[in-house]
Amino acid sequence: MTSEVIYLGELRTTAKHLQSGNSILTDAPVDNHGKGQNFSPTDLVATALATCMITVMGIKANQKGLNIEGTKAEVTKIMAANPRRIAEIQVKLTMPAGNFSEEDKKILEQVAFTCPVAQSLSADLLQNVTIVW
């Protein structure tokens, strides 16, 4: 088992990662009857795309002896209605200053675009990703 999720009432959950014991709270967003005081479940999906991209880039960077520490992602989630769903996730990755060759950039971009989360999301969900070197 990966996690345990408990409903706390008032459209809030707590999710515990069983291996580490770390927990996060989620709230329904304000536009869907919630408090919006924590990540919503759909916020987590959008954020998971960016964290997955950076993680696999970090793995590849380590293998190649590159340093991507300080890489920053700005994530925007765009919702659609009927049915309510994530229509688009925009990710802007800003890479740290570094001496990246064109080959390094190409390799890191390829692993980012093919990360497990990106591959798991519906083909109907637009993934608009920009990488700033």
| pLDDT tens digits, one per residue of 23-36 | 999 999 999 999 99
pLDDT of the residue at 126: 98
Q: Would residue 76 be called left, alpha or beta, if left means φ above 0 and alpha means ψ between -120 and 50 degrees?
A: beta
Total residue count of the chain as it appears in this document: 133
Instruction: Look at phi and psi of residue 49 and say left if phi exceeds 0, alpha if psi is from -120 to 50, else beta.
Output: alpha
Cα torsion for 17, 19, 20, 26, to the nearest 10°? Answer: 0
Q: Can you tell me whether residue 61 is helix, strand or coil?
A: helix
Q: Hey, where are the domains in the chain?
A: 3-32, 41-132
The pLDDT of residue 99 is 87
In this prediction, residues 5-21 reach a mean pLDDT of 98
> For 41-132, which CATH superfamily applies?
K homology (KH) domain (3.30.300.20)
The pTM for the full model equals: 0.95
pLDDT at 98: 86
Which has the closest alpha carbon to 3: 26, 21, 29?
A: 21
Tens-place pLDDT, residues 77-109: 999 999 999 999 999 999 999 889 999 999 999
Mean pLDDT of the chain: 97
Mean pLDDT of the 52-73 span? 98
